[in-house]
Amino acid sequence: MKDTIQVYKEIDGLFCTIYVDGVLDYATMDSFIEEIKSIERGTEKVIINFEALEFIDSTGIGAIINLVHEAKDKRFSIELEAVRQEINDVLGTIGVFEILETLQKEES
Amino acid sequence: MFKRELSYLNNENNEVVKKTLEREIKVAQKIQMKLLNGPNPEVENGEISGVSIPARLIGGDYYDFYMLPNGKLRIVIGDVMGKGIPAAMLMILTRGAFRSASESTQGPGETLTAMNQAIYSDLRILGSFVTVLCADWDPNKATLTYASAGHNLPLIVCSEVEINEAPKIKGVMLGGLPNTSYQDNTLSLNDEDLVFFYTDGITEAQNPDGEMYKIDRLREALLDNYYAEVQEIEDSIVNAIDEFTESLDQKDDITMVLLKVKNGDTKVASYTSPVINS
């Protein structure tokens, strides 16, 4: 498992897709946070593509949770895309999907 | 206080600053270790043991026991987001919330609900969260009632060939949603059953090749040690992880709590059909 991360962003109109490649953890968090911070005002939907995500720790999950709460305040929606089964199980156990669903339901 | 801070800031000797910080961190470590790795409680019809090994000087993992007036033992294990000093500070906050909630709540689900109510806004302000598993061991009925706030479910070892994860139960981490409630699940245990509570520092421990220890190795190590006493099992798991990682520096805190039923008789288990308490 590599100890690095590559994060890049693709903008298509009001949609923004963030691709995360590698390990999203305590040591690699900063570049992910930078991309999140640079999400432009007026964006309607942020898609986080986890297809190439190998591992996520609690700090990485914390960043996702914070983004979900921020999305509610800034009125954009979030979708987690192409999540591998193992990571999907971790996010499910911790409650990420339930938080996402609850907050987005409140918003709509 | 003001004078002390002023002279401290004016002091250009980095060595003094470094030594002061080191001393304070050591005191913080001592406080945490005293609060965390206290004596294991003596329980009726069972043996219990717990250990937490921080990845750094201090950590964000947490376990605790609380003896209830009705003779049950409340067990909690948790993992604060992040590492080191920030996580340790939130761990102390979590411990306080658990102790205080245990005084006034009936079961694990209620305890987690009260804990979330108590610390939700603090955790949100800080952009953090805690996963917690809370369980009540009833030594007279040989039942374990548990609730989860986004934490790994315990493993139940029933023999040297049978190990299962406790039946799934929903519940988001503390600090995830306001005003959320947590449900209980109850299962009956047999004599000699082992309940293993743990944090993900165990399954995510890495060897020099970057390979993780994973749940399968943990299951195997628990089955291999089924007949041992809890303290021996605990030591064996710690050694197995150390062997696997080739003593590489830990990336994450490692915490486990073990409960072994010692009824002296055999009861019919209803492990596969838990009672759901609403």
Task: Say whether A93 and B152 touch across the interface (CB within 8 A).
Answer: yes
Structure tokens at B233: 């099992």
Task: Note the CATH number of domain B42-198+255-277.
Answer: 3.60.40.10
Contacts of B151 in chain A (CB under 8 A): 93
The radius of gyration computed from the CA coordinates of chain A, to the nearest angstrom, equals: 13
What is A5-107's CATH topology? Answer: Transcription Regulator spoIIAA (3.30.750)
How far apart CA B193 and CA B73 sit, in angstroms, is 17
Nearest CA in chain A to B177: A99
Residues in chain B, total: 278
How far apart CA B104 and CA B68 sit, in angstroms, is 10
Min CA distance, A75 vs chain B (Å)?
Answer: 18
Supply the pLDDT for residue B258: 98
The owner of tokens 């920030």 is B86
Q: For the whole model, what pTM was predicted?
A: 0.88
Other Cβ atoms closer than 10 A to B27: 10
Give me the mean pLDDT over the A91-101 stretch.
96
Instruction: State the DSSP string of B198-263.
Output: E-HHHHT-B-TTS-B-HHHHHHHHHHHTTTS-HHHHHHHHHHHHHHHHTTPPPSS-EEEEEEEE--
pLDDT digits (tens, 9 = 90+) for B17-75: 888 888 888 888 888 888 877 788 988 899 999 999 998 888 889 999 999 999 999 99
What's the whole-number average pLDDT of chain B? 89
Supply the pLDDT for residue B85: 86
pLDDT digits (tens, 9 = 90+) for B135-179: 999 999 999 999 999 999 999 999 999 999 999 999 999 999 999
Residue A100 pLDDT > 70? yes
Select the more confidently predicted residue: B277 or B220: B220
B109 three-class SS: helix
What residues contact A13, with CB distance under 8 A and at least 6 apart?
none
Residue B5 pLDDT > 80? no
Task: Say whether B82 and A59 touch across the interface (CB within 8 A).
Answer: yes
What's the whole-number average pLDDT of chain A? 91
The enclosing H or E element of A78 equals strand A77-81
Structure tokens at A59: 């700090």
Structural domain boundaries of chain A? 5-107
Structural domain boundaries of chain B? 42-198+255-277
Amino acid at B119: I
Q: B251: pLDDT confidence band, cut at 50, 70 and 90?
A: confident
Residue B267 pLDDT > 60? no
Task: Say whether B172 and A94 touch across the interface (CB within 8 A).
Answer: yes
Q: How far is CA A56 from CA A50, A88, B188, in A?
A: 10, 10, 34
pLDDT digits (tens, 9 = 90+) for B85-112: 888 889 999 999 999 999 899 999 999 9
What residues contact B256, with CB distance under 8 A and at least 6 apart?
B50, B51, B77, B196, B197, B198, B199, B202, B234, B237
Contacts of B211 in chain A (CB under 8 A): 1
Structure tokens at B261: 């039923």
Is the ipTM higher than 0.95? The answer is: no
Contacts of B90 in chain A (CB under 8 A): none
CB B102 within 8 A of CB B66: yes
pLDDT digits (tens, 9 = 90+) for A19-67: 999 999 988 988 899 888 888 888 999 999 999 999 999 999 999 999 9
Of B127, B170, B252, the CB nearest to A62: B127
Amino acid at A70: E
Residue A86 pLDDT > 50? yes
Give me the mean pLDDT over the B115-141 stretch.
96
Structure tokens at A29: 């968090």
Ramachandran angles phi, psi of B250, nearest 5°: -65, 140
pLDDT digits (tens, 9 = 90+) for B160-171: 999 999 999 999
The owner of tokens 């693709």 is A10
Of B81, B149, B170, the CB nearest to A59: B81
Of A26, A99, A102, the CB nearest to B83: A26
Amino acid at B248: L
